[in-house]
Structure 1
């Protein structure tokens, strides 16, 4: 099974994780034209809508939580701007409609939810998101925590990362595929990629210690990489910038990773 899901160059759906591909994580990225609407139904999942670019209105209703109506959201034209996105958390049972107020790219991230948590729908504003710099030298990258484990949700974790030209990311290689807290948590993951300029590509490898999974992929703009388990580093060729949106979920909402011991010496540089 290929872990690379290629994007579609036309149509409303840019890329979608097929149903049943992962147990915990769901993902779809859409493109909308001005005036177009997108219905969103959470069913038994919790959702995080991430506005990648453009401007939208978002309205709907959540069971027992009432209606919400958030208008004129969005102020970045590209994921490569030095800005955090607008996002929204929608609990299970929510019904919503996205209205494009410009050309829009939006991601719908999904994971198992629980109505017992009584989490209401909420707008996640850019100024509420923690931004940080990870790594050093050619391993430097820029991180924005959209829905971290410090914020309420049942199982979803969402983060976006920009990686400069010629740099590595998600590196040294790490994994989170074993339920062994506090040392490591089990979290499935998807990587939604964009590349600037858009004709570029990045490389991503997904591999396990026993090499039962070992795939190296040339990833192009708007492609999706599936990480059911294993290490998953990214390398960005000279001349291109990398963006990826990570969605993680598992039985416990904790991000605790384990570095590949063969490459952990890199942390001492």
Structure 2
């Protein structure tokens, strides 16, 4: 299954979403999303994977093998960047929240055991990518060149309502040194409400070859995910009036931890049009380290 509707999965509490390599039918990439009540707690043996604790809504305390990190969190992904904690493989991770909240745990199977660490919200690089109706904001909290992990790559993308994101369509399903990385990818979505109405968006994935046949056109809402083992992915379309957030989680088998992509040859020209258009004035939705 490449489209996961959280409300159809029947996950036991507190799992709002629980994607594992075994369940996804691939090798490296995981994502757990927890919904915890006030006073709630969750323990995770990290086993053969590295993990990040990323607050989506609320604050928490993270204990990792005797070290404790206080995460201040945020009100929602649409209001601020957030601090986060990194947990290495072969560790015990316990998350506790005094006031409740929603927490994403992106993970990746890995070989090296790195140190447990904390990064404040003020240290998150915020990038504006694209222009015109392709404008979006990228919070590069665990991009390959901004935070050390062994395999895991993770970023947040915010797309103003009406814009096309993850565009032009691109792929990373083959290893071509210096040109393309083979990376499994998860898109996890939250869509802002407007006038009391839940939002929606759309995600497209098209086949990239005879051995890469993922083909998806999905309506997505808050809590949904799309799994991308291969294929040209994009656009991610935000409905007018409803900003779109998605968390990208990637990992793969390459010797180097890099995010190298190939644009779809029929749509790559769109990048050449960006210098002639202004960035959407609604961006950034917030700068790095903005108050929660």
State which drifts further: 184-193 or 51-60. Answer: 51-60
| SS of equivalent to 1:222 | coil
1:268 and 2:272 matched: yes
Residues 189 and 246 in structure 1, CA contact (< 8 A), matched pair in contact too = yes
| SS of equivalent to 1:85 | coil
Deviation by residue 1:121-158 (Cα, 9 ceiling, x = unmatched): 00122112111100001110011011121222110001
State which drifts further: 206-215 or 237-246. Answer: 206-215
Q: Which residue of 1 aligns with 2:119?
A: 124
Alpha-carbon separation, structure 2, partners of 1:40 and 1:250: 22
Residues 64 and 87 in structure 2, CA contact (< 8 A), matched pair in contact too = no
Alpha-carbon separation, structure 2, partners of 1:138 and 1:102: 38
Alpha-carbon separation, structure 1, partners of 2:90 and 2:190: 31
Residues 21 and 28 in structure 2, CA contact (< 8 A), matched pair in contact too = no
Runs of 5+ consecutive residues of structure 2 not aligned to the other structure: 274-292
Q: Which residue of 2 aligns with 1:248?
A: 250
Residues 172 and 260 in structure 1, CA contact (< 8 A), matched pair in contact too = yes
Query: Offset at 1:8?
Result: 2.6
1:37 and 2:41 matched: yes
Q: Which residue of 1 aligns with 2:18?
A: 16
| TM-score under structure 1 length normalisation | 0.92
| SS of equivalent to 2:27 | coil
Query: Offset at 1:19?
Result: 4.5
1:162 and 2:161 matched: no
Q: Which residue of 1 aligns with 2:219?
A: 218
Deviation by residue 1:168-192 (Cα, 9 ceiling, x = unmatched): 1110111111100211111110001
Query: Offset at 1:205?
Result: 0.8
Deviating above 3 A after TM superposition, structure 1's stretches of 4 or more consecutive aligned residues are none
Alpha-carbon separation, structure 2, partners of 1:219 and 1:188: 19
Count of residue correspondences: 259
Question: Residues 254, 19 of structure 1: CA spacing in aligned structure 2 closer, same or farther, 3 A cutoff?
Answer: closer
1:179 and 2:183 matched: no
| TM-score under structure 2 length normalisation | 0.85
Alpha-carbon separation, structure 1, partners of 2:37 and 2:233: 33
Alpha-carbon separation, structure 1, partners of 2:83 and 2:45: 19
Runs of 5+ consecutive residues of structure 1 not aligned to the other structure: 62-66
| SS of equivalent to 1:238 | coil
Alpha-carbon separation, structure 1, partners of 2:21 and 2:88: 20
| SS of equivalent to 1:267 | helix
User: Pairwise CA RMSD of aligned residues?
Assistant: 1.6
